[in-house]
Amino acid sequence: MPFICHLDIEFVMVLVIRSCCLYDQTRRLKDVEISFPIVYGTISFWLGKKASEFNSHKWTVYVRSATNEDLSVIIKRAVFQLHPSFNNPTRVVESAPFELSESGWGEFEIAITLFFHNDVCDKQLDLYHQLKLYPEDDNGPQSTKKPVVVETYDEIVFSEPTEAFFLRVQNHPAAIVPRLPAGLNLLPPGPIEHVNEKKRGDTKDHPLSQWFMNFSEADELLKLAAARQQVQAHIVKLRRQLSMIDGLPQQSKAASDRSNRFYDKGRTSG
């Protein structure tokens, strides 16, 4: 296994945020939703010979698009709240990619707060992630080349977006934009902005991208099928164990009955 990954597949939470524009005169699109699949998590590496008692791992916490596209189209800034023992535990990231790297020795919960652009939403989104430094299987030795990866998949859904927001992101590769209701027509979108390659915020060529999980629907279905098979095999094993346990008193009772019959027979013979 190249890495350790923890993923709660059957309990994927859909985060729904009602899109709120600061301008009341902006028209909203009724019965329309725009979805942005995101992934947030951590990747941690053991420092090996460089590890010390209070500095054993280096790690990175991040929020990324599930398809590694630029999320700055909706996210204005991200705030990462670290453990109070860190210097300046409240870290603010003003541009994509929304991530930070640190080193330490302990595991703790990281609070992540996302702030959106004005035409997207005026509410913040709070996420929580548990930093993991050590693999679940502690039998084998740690490796400096095999990180511990923990990622969570979610979807941010903006309900009833403004027309301006819809037109701005309808062709963006990070967005899932439905067809407009019948009879609702909008002006065609403006020209796609060309972002300087040095300033782009996607994570396609990220140094840690080889460890990112693939959250495609086909991949999820395969994982669900594999998990279902494991659960069924475990149920069969438990039923077999229960049947063996239920059989023990019956065998003891049968042995006791045989013993009593032998005793009664001896008394009769006497």
C-beta contacts of 257-263 below 8 A and 24+ residues apart: none
pLDDT of residue 268: 47
For residue 258, what pLDDT is reported?
A: 55
218: alpha, beta or left? (left if phi > 0; alpha if psi -120 to 50): alpha
**pLDDT tens digit string along 151-209?**
999 999 999 999 889 989 988 988 988 776 555 555 555 444 443 444 567 676 676 66
Tell me which CATH code domain 4-213 carries.
2.60.40.1970
pLDDT reported for residue 254: 54
Which pLDDT score is estimated for 10? 36
Cβ-count burial 217-245 (b if 16+ within 10 Å, e if not): eeeeeeeeeeeeeeeeeeeeeeeeeeeee
φ/ψ (deg, to 5) at 235: -65, -45
Phi, psi for 214 (deg, rounded to 5): -95, 115
For the chain, the structural domain boundaries read 4-213, 216-270
Distance separating alpha carbons of residues 153 and 12, to the nearest angstrom = 7
* Secondary structure (DSSP) of 113-158: EEEE-TTT-SS-EEEEEE---S-S--SSPP-SSS-EEEEEEEEEEE
pLDDT at residue number 67: 86
pTM of the model: 0.66
Q: Please, how many CA atoms are within 13 Å of residue 216, restricted to the half-sphere of its CB?
A: 4
| pLDDT the model gives residue 184 | 58
Low-confidence ranges of the chain (pLDDT < 70): 1-25, 138-140, 180-200, 202, 204-205, 207-213, 215-226, 228-229, 248-270
Please state, in angstroms and rounded to a whole number, the distance separating the CA atoms of residues 89 and 84. Answer: 6
